[in-house]
Structure 1
């Protein structure tokens, strides 16, 4: 595979282009791949353009998807096909794809998550089947999940960017958008944040180990109970800590004990707590200190929490929270895993997964250690 990368294609929530661009720039510079970001306010996408071309595989390694917080999806940008004629868009696009000389296991068709881009949906439903048929006929699109994924990012009906990603190094959802169904009995839509976080921030092995019936969880700032619901549905006992009311339907499950207390002052129960979750509206630095104390001290094995970022200096605030967590774990020389994502169901907050790593932790976890 000799295709060369022009840069990175990053999809994000509209309004977070600057944070997305800053992340890409930082990662690329540390890898010696200098460049510049091209974007527009509320466009929902960022193109980070390298100053010189690089092997596409090296470009992927420079910006691993798990290291990006604000990018919903990331692919390496290989080529742009512009000014496709209205009477024959298939020919120039197919020519560009075949010229890459790469076989693909999947095809992802993408646009920005904007109202303007949504107007392309009808065109893409008619157009993409022609591309898929020709790619399969030529043997370039094969049903082999180990092969790279081809990303087609459409700006409009006449311009498309070609990108590549590898399996397990990109979002599993098209455009990074987790379209989850709202559970019928859930107390609030916030339940979707935790459901998405389980899938986006944890490995399958971690989910199997920690989302088992009979375990215990603590939900700080629980009311009305959207996050507690996710545990109760799995047979996990929850201490729901909040001075506010819980939904009656949640209490009726028998899996949730409502503790009327302040989440910052309440102390851990005399149980082995597998989970701490926290979705309190509070200063991000205070939340970072609170959850890192719980996990570093062993009061909970793992945690998922939200950081409500300020409108200005989001990137700086997130960096501050990382430093707080790192300092807490360094007190006793402990290693930990910290994964942070701006999820589809998030708005101004980001969601993080934090767990303490033991000395016998798997070699594969080292990429997440801080």
Structure 2
């Protein structure tokens, strides 16, 4: 098998440093050593493993969903340069033969202005490449199950990265981006952050368990109501906590009670199914607030954002999440905690804390 010692990780532009620090730390914890390479604002990071096929070992050992800053990843060959414009498929096909067998091809570009301009070319070329590989037996029939997915990351018309990703340990969406349409009735675009979080964190098979009509919720820092709108859409009854005004149409739903109170001192009259929080404050202070709700048993689930500082963002995330986990464990509270910088997040990450579950 061809040596796959390079991990390629997609991330939000401007967060390459955090993505690189995280994959370096997680790989070292698993006994996989190497070094990261990236350029500012290129929206992807390379991690070069010292050992042969180290990238494959990482994909088999690390849990992709445990990574906060990586949107997508794959184990790659060395970069393919100077592909002939008259026939790019033949040299790529020659490398595919040495990769783990796959039944599907995912073609990706960087989430940058330059990358988005390549979308049309990448889509058409990917379709032609898949047809050729399938015809030559280098890509399994569509209905045949395989452990791996073939991935092609296009840098320009003559340069690309070729690799594979485990289907059950990577994002199902190209570049790890779930495309959502902004609902015109929603009070603010922040509504997409909560919608994406539910799609990402909650398995489809368990949606009715976590999101069903008649549930109760609290939205801390709710105004003007972007996240409350999502809760109402799920037919929940919501206490919206904010000193600012709520959207008038949202209040007419009859499902929202507006409390003009400080979100950091508010206590619910009784426990609720969901607490959501998109407050702009220091991540350590928001983490302390989330811990208070968990220790007091005020909610079953919490979805919250941590707004990150300009510097030491990865370190701040590590401190906040480790503190929350340590305190919950010390209190004997069962929990599940997941975190991710979602596509609709900006200088923040989104966390899901589900209580009374195995971690």
Residues of 2 paired with 1:198 and 1:343: CA distance? 11
> Do the aligned partners of 2:109 and 2:119 also contact (CA within 8 Å) in 1?
no
1:278-297 mapped onto 2 (5 Å cutoff): 278-297=277-296
Matching residue of 2:124: 126
Q: 1:55/1:286 Cα in 2 relative to 1: closer, same or farther (>3 Å)?
A: closer
In structure 1, C-alpha distance between the alignment counterparts of 2:330 and 2:114, rounded to whole Å = 50
Deviation at 1:308, TM superposition (A): 0.3
- Using a 3 Å threshold, how does the CA distance of structure 1 residues 196 and 145 change in structure 2: closer, same or farther? farther
Distance 2:120 2:219 in 1: 43
Partners in 2 of 1:122 and 1:354 — Cα distance?
A: 39
Shift of 1:146: 4.0
| C-alpha spacing 1:145/1:286, structure 2 compared with 1 (3 Å) | farther
Question: In the aligned structure 2, how far is the partner of 1:69 from the partner of 1:190?
Answer: 20
Deviations 1:259-283 (A, max 9, x none): 111100111122x411010000111
CA distance in 1, matches of 2:145, 2:286: 39
Report the TM-score, using the length of structure 1 for normalisation: 0.92
Rounded Cα–Cα distance in structure 2 between residues aligned with 1:309 and 1:88? 46
Kept in 2: contact 1:77–1:162 (CA 8 A): yes
Match of 1:320 in 2: 319
Quote the Cα distance in structure 1 between the aligned partners of 2:117 and 2:66: 32
Give the secondary-structure state (helix, strand or coil) at the position aligned to 2:167.
coil
Instruction: Report the CA distance shift for 1:23/1:144 in structure 2 as closer, same or farther (over 3 A).
Output: farther
Matching of residue 60 in structure 1 with residue 25 in structure 2: no
Query: 1:115 corresponds to which residue?
Result: 113
Q: CA deviation at 1:33?
A: 1.2
Deviates most, 341-350 or 83-92: 83-92
Q: Give, in whole Å, the separation in 2 of the partners of 1:145 and 1:283.
A: 49
Change (3 A) 1:168 1:236: farther
CA distance in 2, matches of 1:39, 1:289: 34
Q: Give yes or no for contact 2:108–2:122 (8 Å, CA) kept in 1.
A: no
Q: How many residues align?
A: 357
> Higher mean Cα deviation, 230-239 or 52-61?
52-61
Which residue does 1:254 correspond to in 2?
A: 254
Cα distance in structure 2, aligned partners of 1:228 and 1:155 = 40
Q: Conserved in 1, the CA contact under 8 Å of 2:7 and 2:55? A: no
Per the alignment, residue 155 of structure 1 pairs with: 155
Q: 1:57 to 1:219 in 2, by over 3 A?
A: same
Rounded Cα–Cα distance in structure 1 between residues aligned with 2:126 and 2:309:
40
Distance verdict in 2 for CA 1:323–1:59, change over 3 Å = closer
Displacement, 1:57? Answer: 4.4
Range 36-45 or range 314-323, more displaced: 314-323
Q: Does 1:263 align with 2:263?
A: yes
Q: 1:167 to 1:198 in 2, by over 3 A?
A: same
Deviation, 1:296, is: 3.4
Q: Secondary structure at the match of 1:113?
A: coil
Q: Give 2:168's aligned residue.
A: 168
Q: Would you say the 8 A contact 1:5–1:56 is kept in 2?
A: yes
CA shift at 1:64, angstroms? 2.0
Question: What is residue 350 of structure 1 aligned with on the other side?
Answer: 349
The alignment's TM-score, normalised by the length of structure 2, stands at 0.95
Distance 1:93 1:177 in 2: 25
Question: Equivalent residue of 1:171, what SS?
Answer: coil
Q: Secondary structure at the match of 1:162?
A: strand
**1:182-221 aligned within 5 A:** 182-221=182-221
Q: Deviation of residue 12 (structure 1)?
A: 0.6
Match of 1:307 in 2: 306
Which residue of 2 is the match for residue 364 of structure 1?
none
User: Does structure 2 retain, via aligned residues, the 8 Å contact 1:285–1:324?
Assistant: no
Alpha-carbon distance in 2 for matches of 1:168, 1:199: 16
In the alignment, what sits opposite 1:365?
Answer: none
2:44 corresponds to: 45
Give the secondary structure class of the aligned counterpart of 1:209: helix
In the TM superposition, residue 65 of structure 1 has moved relative to its aligned partner by 1.1
Give 1:52 deviation, angstroms. 1.8
Deviation, structure 1 residue 55: 6.1
Given the superposition, is the C-alpha separation of residues 319 and 55 from structure 1 closer, same or farther in structure 2, using an over 3 Å criterion?
closer
My pick for the range that moved more, 57-66 or 149-158, is: 57-66
Residue 120 of structure 1 and its aligned partner are, at CA, apart by 1.8
Q: Distance in 2 between matches of 1:323 and 1:109?
A: 36
